[in-house]
Amino acid sequence: MNIARTALLIAALTALFLSVGYLLGGQSGALIAFLIALAMNGWAYWNSDRAVLRMHQARPVTRAEAPELVGLVEQLARNAGLPMPKVYLLETSQPNAFATGRNPEHAAVAVTRGLIQACTREELAGVIAHELAHIKHHDTLTMTITATLAGAIGFLAQFAFFMPRGDDRNNPLGMVGTLLVMILAPLAAMLVQMAISRTREFAADRLGAEIVGQPLWLAQALAKIEQLAGGVVNGPAERNPASAHLFIINPLHMGGVDGLFRTHPPTAERIRRLQALAAGAGPGRARGPWG
């Protein structure tokens, strides 16, 4: 169900992108939109992982430098049937984590210094398992594509402002229609992107709990991160808000923004589902990440 819903939402986002191109420039506008999407997604496929790691000032860590962290990632990756991802550290005191990479063979897991300091080994295992679930589901690529498409829609809408108005034969809309597209298209793209992100978070929570074998470890980690993250500013994330959906908990200070515009599902609901999963699994089915 989650996979079908994600595919439907990506199709909707792609259709919205091509429609914006057509509405702003007719058939030639749709063709330009298609070429832009093709180029941006091609770039994102090959370069997005390095770009996001650079923007968050992540640095690689080795087994010699962090034997417990690297060993835990290795054991959980083995549980998940995944190749060993690269491990990165973000020097911020906000507890958080994300995964990136175009496929499981070219993946990375990044955790913050604050996460290592705040979480127990079991809670850290739950968080890492969640990120490995994103890799196993290819969510890192899915979210890169959706972010790229959403950004491209915003680019087209801004570009429309500079389009010549003297001859509107290629533009099926008048001035008022063009202005509406400029305002509403980026908003619609953002809402679809957030719906995809929320869907993938629930799926990653479930698979992550299966990988680690203890749903409550992830539930406890989510509660702790939610409590602590709001009081710590994540500078790189605040400067690059488009990457907020990658993190296990929203790293931004949202203030009074309505939940409709949040990139993550409510943490309380995620915890409730994990608790229900733990209750249904029964005590005899739990296993540790090193077992």
pLDDT tens digit sequence for 155-164? 666 666 565 5
Whole-model pTM? 0.79
User: What are the tens digits of pLDDT across the range 199-211?
Assistant: 789 999 999 999 9
Q: What is the pLDDT of residue 222?
A: 97
Q: Which of 65, 91, 123, 131 is catalytic?
A: 131
Q: What is the pLDDT of residue 224?
A: 96
Q: Does residue 104 form part of some domain?
A: yes
The reply to whether 184 falls in a domain is yes
Residue by residue, what is the 3-state secondary structure of the chain? CHHHHHHHHHHHHHHHHHHHHHHHHHHHHHHHHHHHHHHHHHHHHHHHHHHHHHHCCCEECCCCCCHHHHHHHHHHHHHHCCCCCEEEEECCCCCCEEEEECCHHHEEEEEEHHHHHHCCHHHHHHHHHHHHHHHHCCHHHHHHHHHHHHHHHHHHHHHHCCCCCCCCCCCCCCHHHHHHHHHHHHHHHHHHHHHHHHHHHHHHHHHHHHHHCCHHHHHHHHHHHHHHHCCCCCHHHHHCHHHHHHECCCCCCCCCCCHHHCCCCCHHHHHHHHHHHHHHHCHHHCCCCCC
Low-confidence ranges of the chain (pLDDT < 50): 1, 165-168, 256-260, 282-291
- Domain assignment present for residue 108? The answer is yes
Q: Is 290 a domain residue?
A: no
Residue 182: per-residue pLDDT: 66
Total domains in the fold of the chain: 1
For residue 291, being part of any structural domain is answered with no
131 belongs to the catalytic site: yes
What pLDDT does 9 receive? 63
**Residues spanned by the domain of 46:** 2-285
CA distance 101 to 86: 10
pLDDT at residue 192 in the model? 67
